[in-house]
Amino acid sequence: MEPIGEFYSKQKAVDYLTEGYVTIFSAGTGNPYFTTDTGSSLRGIEIEADVMLKGTRVDGVYTADPEKDPTATKYDKISFDEIYHKDLRVMDLTATTMCKENNLPIVVFDMDTKGNLLKVINGENIGTLVHV
């Protein structure tokens, strides 16, 4: 990462954010059995982020996988508990539970549509909000 970025440091990240810089976290934790989703939730919790952005191939959370089930219905908002009870796979359960237990909401959105990242950063109502 060093040619294009710095190694992660919680204090540096918080300092940069406090100074108004955009801070992008990439990669995982470097530990086996932990997905990049778990790494993302961990970093979001550490820096006390307002929200975790989960870019994916679909435009939100659905009742079923919309790529396999054409009758799947999209949720605009859904609670963590509903995700558990309906056995929806937003991301791995460790990451989902970490976000729930630390009150870190998630916005799931389509990262393949040009302009969507800017829209979600600007607070536009795209994707699905996962909340406590």
List pLDDT tens digits, range 16-35: 999 999 888 887 888 898 99
Task: Using DSSP, state whether 76 is helix, strand or coil.
Answer: coil
Each residue of 34-64: pLDDT tens digit?
A: 999 999 999 999 999 999 999 999 999 999 9
Query: Does 108 map to a domain?
Result: yes
- Looking at residue 83, its pLDDT comes to 97
Query: Does 103 map to a domain?
Result: yes
Each residue of 120-132: pLDDT tens digit?
A: 999 999 999 999 9
Query: Does 23 map to a domain?
Result: yes
Q: Is the dihedral of CA 30, 121, 107, 132 positive or negative?
A: positive
* Residues 42 and 98: beta-carbon distance below 8 Å: yes
What is the residue-averaged pLDDT of the chain?
Answer: 94
| pLDDT at residue 72 greater than cutoff 90 | yes
- Looking at residue 3, its pLDDT comes to 82
User: What percent of the chain clears pLDDT 90, i.e. is strictly above it?
Assistant: 84
Token pair 């870190």: residue: 104
- Looking at residue 1, its pLDDT comes to 67
CATH number at residue 90: 3.40.1160.10
Domain that holds residue 16: 10-131
Average pLDDT of span 102-118: 97
Q: Is the dihedral of CA 33, 34, 37, 38 positive or negative?
A: positive
